[in-house]
Structure 1
Amino acid sequence: MSIFMKKLTVNQAINEAHTTDNAMLIDCRPKDEFNHGHVTGAINIPLDKITEDRISRRLPDKTTRLYIIGNYGYKPNDAMRKFKKLGYKNVVFGGFMEEHHGLLAR
């Protein structure tokens, strides 16, 4: 097993999240950026809102596979560390919105 994990592009992460059982697409950008355009089906949990109290109520199943997307300013890796610290084991780098190709919801 390699210590280096392959990072998905945002479009690969979207596809996997939509086709994998017990998976969610988490957008860690601030609410105003999310509202300007986001991937259909993504839920917005801004980086600064990833706290034990908020997350345990919203995502009680810690086995859920979480695909974390962000942007160059609000990095998915930062959100991934926070989720892992809260006990979520299936946390996957989901790419950057700047690299997204496709329609966005508002």
Structure 2
Amino acid sequence: MEKHEFKSRIYSELAALTKAMSNPFRLQIIDLLAQGSRTVEEIADQLSISIANTSQHLQVLKGASLVAVYKQGHYAHYRLASDEVLASWHGLRDLGINRMAEIDRTLREFREERESFDSVSINELLDKIQQDNVLIVDVRPEKEFNAGHISGARSIPIDQLAQHLADWPQGKETIVYCRGPFCVFADEAVQMLSQKGIPVRRLEEGFPEWKIRHLPISI
């Protein structure tokens, strides 16, 4: 094999891999599957697109070995093929935040509108846990919480949060988290709690970032 053919093959395959990710819906699917496996129907519902379109996107991702599929009962469940896929998505996402001014601007505008711009990092949260002066609240859907969550976190899905405001625990700062930097559940939770005078900030990252660092989780 000539060296130019060698390079051509390698870079063509890498180009095919990046092409599989070069769609906003497919990136959302990867971000969603970082929380746990999903059926086609569940993914379609989360993305508000048709099952047919969802299936097409999943086939592209599967063809690039980015997702894997397994059968459970009568349903096919999709998951990320490996932690490398998750790490690659995080790398692309962080590159976008750091290098694409429009992404940073959009994040700032969205969070400023919801008074959720002040966030804490995972390292800051670890310090607070050591000091035992923080209430950690997971506002993702209960299914995602049950699949894995930050140890010690309390599950209050965003659609149930309003029911708990009247008897919210006092004396500790609340840190809410959800799926990651682009997940709006945490921003909505910060807005709701702040309006009730409850000290609260969001975790800048989400559960997948916590898990990939091999920090304590519970299932």
How many Å apart are 1:13 and its aligned residue? 4.7
More helix by share: 2
Q: What corresponds to 1:87 in structure 2?
A: 197
Percent of matched pairs sharing the same residue: 20
Correspondence 1:77 to 2:190: no
Distance 2:157 2:124 in 1: 18
Match of 1:105, as an amino acid?
Answer: S
Could you give the per-residue CA deviations for residues 52-95 of structure 1, whole angstroms, max 9, x where no partner exists? x42322x242x52001111144531111111112221x211213
Aligned pair count reads 98
Q: What corresponds to 1:35 in structure 2?
A: 146
Gaps of 5+ in 1: none
How many Å apart are 1:41 and its aligned residue? 0.5
Which gives a bigger RCO, structure 1 or 2 (Cα 8 Å, sep 6+)?
1
How many Å apart are 1:50 and its aligned residue? 1.1
Correspondence 1:68 to 2:179: no
Q: State the TM-score, normalizing by the size of structure 2.
A: 0.40
Could you list the runs of 4 or more consecutive aligned residues of structure 1 that deviate by over 4 angstroms after TM superposition? none
Backbone CA RMSD of aligned residues: 2.3
Distance 2:197 2:191 in 1: 10
Q: State the TM-score, normalizing by the size of structure 1.
A: 0.75
Distance 1:27 1:21, change over 3 A: same
Distance 1:43 1:13 in 2: 18
Distance 2:192 2:127 in 1: 22
